Chain A
């Protein structure tokens, strides 16, 4: 049987068991095991468990549960609401300041928690009701939070980035640094659009007021005193210090990524204990069990995905497919576009974790042959996967928003999100034209 036929069988079998509804981790492991039994020497089947253990026992990968613990601790405290409240108090005089404060709060929280749904949930639960109370349309408010939340998988410590670093054998520190410029670009684009859209809604409210005499809440000025502005700072500053401290530990050469994850988790637990009094067993139990569930689910997918990739590589499926793609001699931008469209389509069905680990052995060699910087591509791929988090019909963040603001019709949420999808595609194009936005900081810091 040729490698091509085996590859086709491998892909078809994977799609069949996955679409039958078998949990992704077991589906990948089962398909890999069957192909090992049929096409590989018996000795390799005997080492299957050792393979999975050794792949999972990577100290870089094991920083993932600890980053999840840090995010869960911060996500389940009132830190999100306080962060949002403080930013609102300081930005309320800017037109659209409330919406822009939500974008900034999402970015800061995402950097602390490292999770998109957690960011949407934590900032959106306070931000969406407040924006709607102040006259923002439901779709606009939902769009801001859904899009802001996606920054969770781009800003360090992004779990998606950790996996990409492992799969592409790239420096994690360099990848984290490369994500900062594009993340700031997205924040600026989101904030700029929010300010513009606010003006549109404001003008419509003024016209409606003149026409009907009904005054929208959008037209009422915010009344926040200097005391209001300073009141929330003591609660927020420690978390911002935690965020910067963790970054300094990582980039100052004081700690490895896994040590940074452990240190971040301990500091987050200490902060929520001292600031919010979350220290009793009954308070900590939901944080720890949620961490454990998310970590176990993710780590099993990672372990089995790595086994799946190992089989693909042993049977020369990934090499042959990569060689075939190279032999097509596509223009580098056509190649990039085709790969990114594939990532978007896969994102309809698979979590980013699986997309990265399953596709990396196939797509990275052609990209390397086309002289693309793999660190830069890691950032682009992550933004495209972010897009999948808010792109209808299956964007996870859309459903998180629906769960925290069920009275906003799904149609409004989707229309509210679409301009941000456009902004993200625009950001990808800008990054293709100016790749330095991603690479300059990493080069400046790490050489």
Chain B
């Protein structure tokens, strides 16, 4: 039997996607991103392995592998943050959750999600500004390889925007009147 390793895994996967077509679209995007990000992690591992192998077996060193790995991993992290939020996998202190009545806890959750949304949306907005600046000013990293910085910045921007949308959807769903069984 394989046991789960982290808290995120212990949460049930959302079997029915709430939020209508918006929710379904976000869930599909998150699924595709998790798939691509997983592949990015494996590619980063191979890139770094190639770096060692080329240096010791082929006797030449390259200058792009560290930076490419950084792009792949930072991109994977930011892009998949919405998917983690979908399962509420961003770890929090839940010491008071069990002490509060259900209604108060519901209000607390909405307030916490709203504060998280405001921060993430602000960060996403600032990321868009940074991306625009990097694109128009043609920013490059200061390494010898010097790749354009709009690449990692765009991954950060899209990732934080998706995270903000995910949070917004969770707030809207929490505020929507609950259906009672007839």
Task: Please list the residues of chain A having a beta carbon within 8 angstroms of any beta carbon in chain B.
Answer: 17-27, 29-30, 33, 45-46, 48-50, 52-53, 56-57, 59, 62, 65-66, 69, 72, 75-76, 115, 117-118, 121-122, 125, 249, 254-255, 258-259, 261-263, 265-266, 269, 285-286, 288-297, 299-301, 349-351, 403-404
Candidates A20, A76, A297; contact of B8 at CB < 8 Å = A297
Contact B44 A66 (CB under 8 A): yes
- Surface stretch bound by A, among B21-29, B111-119, B172-180: B111-119
Q: With A249-B52, A259-B52, A296-B81 known to touch, is A69 a contact of B41 (CB < 8 Å)?
A: yes
Distance A258 CA – B70 CA, assembled complex (angstroms)? 10
Contact B80 A296 (CB under 8 A): yes
* Chain A positions within 8 Å of B34 at CB level: 289, 292
- Give per-residue flags for B49-88: 1 if the beta carbon is below 8 A from chain A beta carbons, else 0: 1011000100000000010011001101100110110010
State the interface size on chain B (CB cutoff 8 A).
62
Which interface residue of A46, A65, A301 has the most chain B CB atoms within 10 A?
A: A65
Candidates B41, B80, B90, B129; contact of A26 at CB < 8 Å = B90
Contact B5 A125 (CB under 8 A): no
Contact A262 B119 (CB under 8 A): no
25 residue pairs of the A-B complex, CB under 8 angstroms, read A17-B115, A21-B93, A21-B108, A24-B90, A24-B93, A25-B90, A26-B115, A45-B126, A48-B123, A49-B126, A57-B74, A59-B70, A62-B44, A62-B74, A75-B5, A76-B5, A115-B5, A259-B51, A262-B47, A263-B49, A269-B45, A289-B38, A291-B38, A296-B77, A404-B3
What is the predominant secondary structure among interface residues of chain B facing chain A?
A: helix
Contact B115 A69 (CB under 8 A): no
* Chain B positions within 8 Å of A118 at CB level: 5
Q: With A50-B130, A297-B91 known to touch, is A26 a contact of B38 (CB < 8 Å)?
A: no
* Chain B positions within 8 Å of A30 at CB level: 115-116, 118-119
Distance to closest chain A CB from B174 (angstroms): 13
Distance A299 CA – B84 CA, assembled complex (angstroms)? 12
A-B contact count (CB 8 A): 198
Contact A24 B69 (CB under 8 A): no
Contact B48 A258 (CB under 8 A): yes
- Give per-residue flags for B6-21: 1 if the beta carbon is below 8 A from chain A beta carbons, else 0: 1011100000000000
Contact A300 B45 (CB under 8 A): no
Distance A49 CA – B41 CA, assembled complex (angstroms)? 23
For the complex, is B145 an interface residue (Cβ under 8 Å from A)? no
Distance A300 CA – B91 CA, assembled complex (angstroms)? 10
Distance A236 CA – B174 CA, assembled complex (angstroms)? 50
A-B pairs with lowest CB-CB distance, top 5 = A262-B48, A288-B38, A23-B90, A30-B119, A265-B45
* Chain B positions within 8 Å of A297 at CB level: 6, 8, 84, 89-91
Q: With A21-B94, A266-B49 known to touch, is A62 a contact of B119 (CB < 8 Å)?
A: no
Closest residue on chain B to residue A56 by CB atoms: B74
Which interface residue of B90, B97, B152 has the most chain A CB atoms within 10 A?
A: B90
* Chain B positions within 8 Å of A285 at CB level: 38
Distance to closest chain B CB from A40 (angstroms): 14
Contact A258 B156 (CB under 8 A): no
Which interface residue of B46, B49, B81, B120 has the most chain A CB atoms within 10 A?
A: B49
Distance A350 CA – B37 CA, assembled complex (angstroms)? 27
Closest residue on chain A to residue B88 by CB atoms: A23
* Chain B positions within 8 Å of A258 at CB level: 48, 66, 69
Candidates A23, A53, A69, A301; contact of B116 at CB < 8 Å = A23
* Chain B positions within 8 Å of A291 at CB level: 38, 41
* Chain A positions within 8 Å of B102 at CB level: none
Inter-chain pairs besides A23-B92, A53-B74, A299-B74, 5 sampled, C-beta below 8 Å: A49-B153, A56-B74, A56-B77, A285-B38, A300-B77
* Chain B positions within 8 Å of A294 at CB level: 5-6, 8
Distance to closest chain B CB from A17 (angstroms): 7
Contact A65 B89 (CB under 8 A): no
